[in-house]
Amino acid sequence: MQKVTKRTRRARPGKWALILVFSAIVLTVALSTLLRSADKKEPQETQKRAAEENLLLYQTDTAQLAEIEIRRDGETEIVFEYLNGALVLKGDPSFPINDHIVSSLLETAASLTADAHVMDFESPPSDEELSRFGLSPARRSACFRFHDGSEIVLSTGNLMPIENPRYYAMASTKSALYAVTQDVRDAVSPTMESIHPVSRPQINSDLIDRVQVEGTVTFDARRTDAGWEMLSPYVYPLSDALMDNLMSQLDGIRFANWLGKAENMDLKALGLSPANKTLTLTFAETSVSAPDENGENVTFSLPENRMVFSLGDQKNDTSYYLLYEDEVYSVTVLSFSFLTSFSWEKYLSAVPVSFPTNDLSRIYCRLNGSEAEYLVSYSERVLPNNELETDEYGNLLYDLQVTREGQPVDTEAFLSWYGLLSGMTATRLSDRTSPGPGAEPAFEISLTNARGTVTRNVSILPGDAVEDILYVDGVSLFTIDRAWRDLVTAFP
């Protein structure tokens, strides 16, 4: 028998051994990649830090700041100084300064990083070379002086010819040309006008009792129980909706910039003496409730007061001069457009019969020789449980009662007829020509409001073949289409 040699079987690596080997390979590769990345990242970060340090024009301790001098085109415009721990106007420490101006200046004094490096100067640049960038003299500059006698000058020049607003700039700490943002330019560009805080007049149009305009136009109007009424140049009812729009514009009055105290300004040269237009707002006496120091409500009266705004000449394409409380401001053309283009005609009511049905007590009418007088009263609606009926907002609801010469009148018929009257609308402003001599009114109506405080007399006189002449309280400012005669027929 032949002897057969027994083969020895070599053991294969197990599953977990393969996983461990593969993990080791991956870890080695990752570590190698990380090390190479770190080698690359370190010089990148170093370069970035170097670039930032190159753009850092200066860094200071503002606690050591003594003065800040602002120059415009090389001439000193403003000098600030530190006094008792506060930045004030040198020579006039009581002059109010806008907090935003102060914070912007101090932030710029503390440190400044340019937006970009433009070029280096191998040797000190000449005035001619600097002038090409608006830096000799500098358009705007700030000199920061410190208690140790040192100083840093930041100069900004012309606007750069690029899409995003950037300005050429230099600092006395560097011999290079840089670019800075609009914010930096604004920080070193304050003016006497801009550093003064601009107050906003506190107007609550709900309390305005009277509006007067004088100057190139005359207007005087007051608020009555029956709405707004013009007193001058004519006594005539005004449109409540249009006057509400005017009130909204008055609420929105804003000042753009403070320009100076009136005593230091040439008011005549600014069109303020006399003013082109003067707006006077009269506020009615009112009561105000407010908590006292103990938290309890206290009611006190505010007396009648006035606010006077005098509008002068146009300062530039976007603003006007304005005098208010002995100080001169600039105001935008947009914010005062209601006054610059003021016309009393635009506020007139074109609806002669405008008393709402819930504000009537008496109506007298005469038409084609017939006349009628109506007395109107109101009574609260009472529910079956004897409670007063209200609408969804809690307002009491009333029923209307109408009598004519002591006899009840159908309410629906009266309301329909009065609706036609209140729907009459003037067609256009008349040329204020008077009707022919001896002309008699074709229609007359007299209305008294519910409180009996206001009576309005309306009459219509024959005009031409198309229009009649409308009179309200004896004043004719409108004509009215003769179609009204088809609306106002028999009395209810």
pLDDT in tens, 225-240: 889 999 999 999 999 9
What does each C-alpha distance from 198 to 40, 100, 202, 453 come to in angstroms? 54, 12, 13, 43
pLDDT at 284: 87
pLDDT at 436: 60
pLDDT at 217: 92
pLDDT at 46: 43
Secondary structure element (H or E) that encloses residue 289, with its range: strand 286-291
Please tell me what DSSP assigns to residue 186. H
Secondary structure element (H or E) that encloses residue 39, with its range: helix 15-55
Determine contact, residues 466/481, Cβ cutoff 8 Å.
yes
pLDDT at 290: 75
- Can you tell me whether residue 453 is helix, strand or coil? coil
Burial of 138 (0-12, 13-18, 19+ CB in 10 A): buried
pLDDT at 269: 96
Q: Which residues of the chain have pLDDT under 70?
A: 1-53, 432-438, 489
Determine contact, residues 323/272, Cβ cutoff 8 Å.
yes
The 10s digit of each residue's pLDDT in 199-226 is 888 898 999 999 999 998 999 999 998 8
Alpha carbon of residue 354 to chain centroid: 32
Determine contact, residues 238/230, Cβ cutoff 8 Å.
yes
- Categorise residue 229: left if φ over 0, alpha if ψ from -120 to 50, beta otherwise: beta
pLDDT at 430: 74
pLDDT at 20: 40
Q: Which domains, and CATH codes, for the chain?
A: 57-195 (no CATH), 205-289+298-347 (2.60.40), 357-487 (no CATH)
pLDDT at 435: 62
Query: What is the phi/psi pair of residue 152, to 5°?
Result: -125, 130
What does each C-alpha distance from 480 to 258, 328, 355, 420, 424 come to in angstroms? 49, 46, 19, 14, 8
Q: Model pTM?
A: 0.73
